[in-house]
Structure 1
Amino acid sequence: MRLVSTNSIEAGTILAQTIYNENGVVLIKKGMSLTERTLGRLLNQGITYIYIEDKSTTDIHAESVIPDKLRMEATETIKETFIEIKNGGLDSRSYILNKKEKRLTDVVRRIMEEIQDSEKSISLLTDIFINDNYVFQHSLNVTIYALAIGVELNLSTKELTEVGLGAMLHDIGKIFIDPEILQKPDNLTDEEYEIIKGHTQIGYDFLRKHLDIPTVISHCAYQHHERLDGSGYPRGLKGEDIHIYAKLIGIADVFDAVTSNRVYRDAMLPHEGMEVLYAGAVRLFDKDMIEAFKRSIAVYPVGLTVELSDGREGVVLRQNQALCDRPVIRILKEKGCRIEAPYEADLSTVLNVTVTACFTA
C-alpha cells in the first residue's frame, strides 16, 4: 500500500485501507475501486490522505497501535459524554460527568496499556474514521499523543491516567460554544476568536466543581493553551507556572490540530507537524517533551513516498523504534529512473543520508 493525497487520486484507484464511520460501520471497504463521487465525498468529509494499492508496495502494510474496536469505543464514550453534558440541564451535568468518569478512565487505561505494550510507532494516518464532530475525534487523538509522550517520559501509572483523562477532557469547554463559530470556514472576527478562547475558562469552571475528578484535570482544560514565554491564554502563564500535564497536552493538541483536516485548511503530514513544534521549541514548548514525542510517533508514516538527500526515491517500509525520523526505505528509483530490483535502505545505519522531500501525488 502507498499513502497518497486524496485530491491526487484518479477514479478507478483501489483502496487499500478500510474506511469506517465513528460507529465502526464500514463506509468503504478495502479492495474497492474508488469513483469520482466517492473521492469527492471523502474530501468533503475531511479525509486528506488515504492508502491505495500499488504494484511496487503490495507487501507494505500500515498497522495501528490502537485496535479499531478500542478506538471506536473510545470515540463513542467521548461522544456520549460530551453530548449528554451539553444537552443536560445545569442540575444534571455534574451527575452525568460523575457517572461517565469511571468509563472514561477505563478507556484511558486501556489506551495506555496498548501504547506501553506496543513496539510500533504511533501513526494515526492508519486510522481512517469519518466523524461528524471534530471535537470528539480531536479529544481522542490528543489523548493518544499525550499518553505516548507520557510513556516516553516514564511517568507513573497514576500520572499517565491523569494525563490521559486531562487530555480527553481538555476541550470539554468547546461543547458550550456555538458550533457555527467553532466550524466557521472563514476568518474569525476578533469577537469570535475571544469566544473560542473562552473554552479554557468554561472547561475549567465546569470540571473543578466535580469532587470525583482530580483538580489537576481541570487545570489541563484551563492551561493547555498557555505557552512557556507567556504568550498563551487565558492567563499568560510562563515556564514553571504551567502545569507539566498542560505543557504536555498543549504539544499533543497543536500537533493534532495541524495534522488534522479542518474546515479552513488541509492537514499537514507528521513531519510538517513536528517542524511546527520545533519552531516553537524552548520559546513556546518544552523541548524535552518534543523530543519524547518525536521518539514515539512515525514522523514519516509507512507507505509514504520520500526522496533522500542522495537523490534516491522510495517508499517507507517500516519504522525504527525510537528513531522514528530514520525509517527503513524501499528504494524504487535512482537518479530519477525506476530500478529493476528494489532494495532496502535503513536510515538508522546510514546517518549521512536524510529524507529531504515527501510526495503524496
Structure 2
Amino acid sequence: MEWKFVRLLSIGQVQPGMKLGKRIYNEEGLTLLAEGAELTSSILRRLEKLGVDMLYIQDQLTDDIVPPEMIADETRRQAIKQIRTVYRSMMNDTMGRMSYPHLGYSFRKMTEEILNDLGSREDVLIMLGDIHTTDHYLYTHSFNVCLYTLTLGMAAGYSREDLFTLGMGAMLHDIGKTRIEPKVLLKPGKLSDDEFSEMKRHTELGFAILKDEPFVPLLAAHCAFQHHERLDGSGYPRGIHEGEIHDFAKWIAITDSYDAMTTNRVYRRGMLPHQAVDILYGGSCTQYDQRKLEVFRDKVALYPVGLTVKLNSGETGVVTSVPSKTPNRPIVRIIEDAEGGSVQPYEVDLSQHLSTMVERISDR
C-alpha cells in the first residue's frame, strides 16, 4: 500500500526534493505554487523571503488525507480579487476624491456567495487559513475575518439578513486602512507611538467611508467603528464599555484578533490555533464576550490536519481529521511509540479516549 499524506511543517524542516501537499496563494488569491510541486533550495529561499513560514508537504507515513477547505477555491479567489481591486483603488486615491458607487452592491453580492458556499457544507469548522505570501496582509485578512465571522454567526443562529449585515461588517471592518499612510500600514516591524496613533484612526476613517454608502447597512459601518473596542473600556477609538458595543462588533473583535495572531507576517510567524485561542481566553470577560468565545472555541479546529503532535502517552502522531462535534479532540495517526520507535500507523480518536490528550506540538 502506498502511504501518502500532507504534513504541516515549518519551512526550516522542509528538505529540497519534498513535494508540496497544498497549494500556496499570492496576494491576489491566485495559485503561486501548485500542489505536487517539487521544492528546490531556490524555491524554499524565495518562499521564506515572501514570508511563508509553514508548508503542507506530501508524506509517506499515513493514508491519503486532504486538509478540508472551508470554502470553494473559486469563491475564495473571486472574493480576494474583489477586495484587492477596490482597496487598491482607494489606496491610490490619495486625495480621497474618487467615489465607489458600486462598493456596497459588489461587497453584498460577494458576502452572499460566501454565505451560500458555507451553507452548502455541513458542520463547517474554522480551519487554519490557507498559506499565502505576505505581500499585502489586508486583502486576505479581510476575507478570513468575513469567513470566520459568518461561520460563527451561522452557529449562533442569526437570520439570513443579519448574516448579510454581519458578513459585510466583517469584510469591510478594516476599509479605513486604505486611508492610512502606506509607510505606516506596511511597516515591517513594531510601530512607534505616533505611528500606532495614526493606525488607530482606521476605525473612524472606516466608519466615515461606509456610513453614507448605498447598499452598506449602517450597522456594518458601526462594525468598522467598534471592532477594536473592548468590554472593559480599554479599546479604541472611544473607549466604550460592554453594553455600548454592538454584538456584531464583539464577534468581529474575536475573529479579527484570531486571524491577526494565526497569520504569518513579515516581522513574525503566526501562532497555531490552540495558542491563539488560549490568548483570547485570557481576555474573556475583560476584552472579549465569554459566551461568544465559547461558540468560537466550539467552531475552531485547535490542531490543524497535518500537524505533528506528542500525546501524554508519549506517542507521536499526525492529526488526520477534526470531528466537527469535538474540534479540540482530533483523530491522530500514531507513527512513533513512546520510546521514539516507528510503528505500523494506527489511529486514535481522542474524542473516544478521554484520558489521552495532546501534550505539545512535536518538532520532528
Q: TM-score range by the shorter chain?
A: over 0.9
2:10 maps to 1:5: yes
1:31 Cα offset (Å):
2.1
CA drift at 1:111: 1.4
Residue number among 233, 245, 251 corresponding to 2:248 in the alignment: 245
Over 3 Å counting, the alpha-carbon distance change for 1:290 and 1:138 in structure 2 is same
Instruction: Spell out the pairing of 1:1-361 with structure 2 (5 A cutoff).
Output: 1-23=6-28, 25-88=30-93, 90-93=96-99, 96=100, 98-119=101-122, 120-125=124-129, 127-130=130-133, 132-361=135-364
- Secondary structure of the residue aligned to 2:166 is helix
Q: 3-state DSSP class of the match of 1:53?
A: strand
Check whether the contact 2:250–2:288 (CA below 8 A) recurs between aligned residues.
yes
Question: Which runs of 5 or more residues in structure 1 are unaligned?
Answer: none
CA-based RMSD = 1.7
TM-score, normalised to structure 1's length? 0.94
SS in 2 for 1:340: strand
Q: Secondary structure at the match of 2:361?
A: strand
Unaligned runs of 5+ in 2: 1-5
* C-alpha separation in 2, matches of 1:186 and 1:334: 42
Secondary structure at 1:121's aligned position in 2? coil
State the one-letter code of the partner of 2:273: P
- Counterpart CA distance in 1 for 2:313 and 2:59 is 24
1:333 offset after TM fit, Å? 1.7
Take 1:360 and 1:285, find their aligned partners in 2: how far apart are those partners?
A: 32
In structure 1, C-alpha distance between the alignment counterparts of 2:25 and 2:286, rounded to whole Å = 39
Output the amino acid matched with 1:92.
M
> Per the alignment, do residues 160 and 86 of structure 1 end up closer, same or farther by CA in structure 2, a change over 3 Å counting?
same
Offset at 1:129?
3.5
> Within 2, Cα distance between the matches of 1:7 and 1:335?
25
Q: Give the partner amino acid of 1:30.
A: E
User: 2:3 maps to which residue?
Assistant: none
Could you tell me how far apart the structure 1 residues matched to 2:63 and 2:36 are?
12
Which residue identity is paired with 2:206?
Answer: G
Structure 1 Cα separation of the partners of residues 245 and 298 of structure 2: 23
Please report how far the alpha carbon of residue 28 of structure 1 lies from its aligned counterpart in structure 2 after TM superposition.
Answer: 2.0
Normalised to the residue count of structure 2, the TM-score between the two structures is: 0.93
Task: Tell me if the contact between 2:62 and 2:345 (Cα under 8 Å) persists in the aligned partners.
Answer: no
Task: Tell me the distance in 1 between the aligned counterparts of 2:218 and 2:37.
Answer: 49
In the alignment, the residues of structure 2 paired with residue 239 and residue 282 of structure 1 have an alpha-carbon distance, to the nearest angstrom, of 9
Give the Cα–Cα distance (whole angstroms) in 2 for the partners of residues 133 and 34 of structure 1.
Answer: 24
Higher share in helix:
1
Q: More displaced, 37-46 or 79-88? A: 79-88
Separation in structure 1 between the aligned mates of residue 310 and residue 211 of structure 2, nearest angstrom: 50
1:122 is displaced (CA, Å) by 2.7
Q: Which amino acid aligns with 1:75?
A: I
Identity %: 39
Note the C-alpha offset of 1:131: 5.7
C-alpha distance in 1 between matches for 2:134 and 2:343: 42
Deviates more, 1:220-229 or 1:202-211: 202-211
Distance 2:54 2:121 in 1: 24
> CA offsets per residue over residues 208-264 of structure 1, 9 Å max, x none?
122432111111111000011111011111111101011000100000001011222
Q: CA deviation at 1:106?
A: 1.6
Kindly tell me: are residues 106 and 275 of structure 1, through their superposed partners in 2, closer, same or farther at Cα, counting changes over 3 Å? same
Deviation at 1:80, TM superposition (A): 1.2
Q: Distance in 1 between matches of 2:166 and 2:325?
A: 22
- Farther-moved stretch of structure 1 (219-228 vs 264-273): 264-273
Task: Indicate conservation of the 8 Å contact 1:306/1:356, yes or no.
Answer: yes
Q: Is the 8 A contact 1:171 1:200 kept in 2?
A: yes
